[in-house]
């Protein structure tokens, strides 16, 4: 069997491994697992990996259990089945991220770790693209012409390729807290090469934010939205949370 192809940037997988480096090597769910590139890394790190995907036939690891699962539906696992859940390149592809995070909370043990990623639609570069063009680079209009082109260029099904839900920092944090998670940290895959060019604008945004009271900034997560990870971050935000 051919080695699994990575369906996300390798820098994201590197960050996930760094986050989990000190975690106990226990039961871990990788969903959506794709071909198994991240699962292979986590198995090598010593985790007891179970994989799940909407298209389990894509999975290429013989020694890892693979389940058919839809993130828009109840997951096919009992309550408190895993100590760790990793969801990379998932929420932006589905209709109902709230259901997915609610299900993660159900199948994760108390004190368990959730690592979930979304495209960073809130960094300065993406904000300018939205202002000037009406859409970001991660969530382009899915016209019929665009979908026909994507179908020609990609061998994967629509659900694997298309970004349909532009979910950002505030929505993810709200859903995490609503479903019993404590946000521990937010990571970026890697800094953007041209981030230096936006630093003067970042300074202006942060100074403007300081005109609001600390209470208002805390209520609106303003300082977090203006952090390097979000404002000057790379293509992907990676959330590290604990079920409480």
Give pLDDT tens digits for 35-51.
999 999 999 999 999 99
Query: CA 85, 88, 92 angle in degrees (round to 5)?
Result: 120
Q: Compare 198 and 108 and report the one with higher pLDDT.
A: 108
Domains, the chain, with CATH or none: 10-243 (3.40.50.150)
Could you tell me how many helices (H) and strands (E) the chain has, helices first?
A: 11, 7
Rounded distance between C-alpha atoms, residue 206 and residue 181, angstroms? 28
Rounded distance between C-alpha atoms, residue 89 and residue 16, angstroms? 12
At 132-154, the pLDDT tens digits run 999 999 999 999 999 999 999 99
- Does residue 2 carry a pLDDT above 80? no
The confidence score (pLDDT) of residue 179 equals 98
Residue from 74, 8, 75 nearest 41 by CA: 8
Rounded distance between C-alpha atoms, residue 169 and residue 224, angstroms? 9
Task: State the pTM of this model.
Answer: 0.95
Tell me the pLDDT of the chain averaged across its residues.
Answer: 95
The confidence score (pLDDT) of residue 191 equals 81
Contact (CB, 8 A) for 115 and 85: yes
Rounded distance between C-alpha atoms, residue 89 and residue 33, angstroms? 9
At 49-70, the pLDDT tens digits run 999 999 999 999 999 999 999 9
Structure tokens at 187: 């990571």
- Does residue 1 carry a pLDDT above 70? no
List phi, psi (to 5°) of 85: -130, 135
* Crossing angle for the helix pair 169-178 and 97-107, to the nearest 10 degrees: 40
The verdict on whether omega for the bond into residue 32 sits within 30 degrees of 0, i.e. cis, is yes
């Amino acid at each position: 069997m051919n080695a699994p192809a990575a369906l996300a940037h390798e820098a994201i997988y590197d960050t996930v491994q760094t986050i989990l480096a000190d975690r106990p090597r226990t039961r871990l769910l990788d969903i959506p697992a794709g071909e198994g590139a991240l699962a292979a890394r986590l198995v090598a790190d010593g985790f007891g990996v179970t994989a799940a995907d909407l298209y389990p036939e894509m999975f290429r690891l013989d020694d890892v259990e693979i389940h058919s699962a839809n993130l828009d539906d109840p997951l096919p696992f009992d309550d408190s089945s895993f100590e760790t859940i990793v969801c990379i390149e998932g929420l932006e592809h589905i209709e109902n991220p709230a259901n997915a995070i609610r299900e993660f909370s159900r199948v994760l043990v108390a004190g368990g770790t959730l690592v979930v990623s979304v495209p960073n639609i809130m960094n300065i570069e993406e904000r300018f693209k939205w202002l000037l063009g009406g859409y970001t680079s991660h969530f382009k209009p899915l016209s019929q012409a665009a979908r026909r082109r994507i179908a020609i260029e990609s061998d994967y099904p629509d659900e694997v390729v298309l970004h349909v839900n532009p979910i950002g920092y505030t929505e993810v944090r709200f859903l995490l807290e609503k479903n019993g998670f404590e946000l521990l940290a937010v990571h970026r895959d890697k800094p953007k090469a041209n981030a230096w060019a936006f630093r003067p604008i970042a300074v202006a945004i942060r100074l403007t934010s300081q005109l609001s009271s600390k209470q208002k900034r805390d209520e609106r997560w303003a300082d977090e939205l203006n952090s390097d990870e979000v404002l000057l971050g790379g293509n992907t935000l990676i959330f590290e949370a604990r079920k409480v």
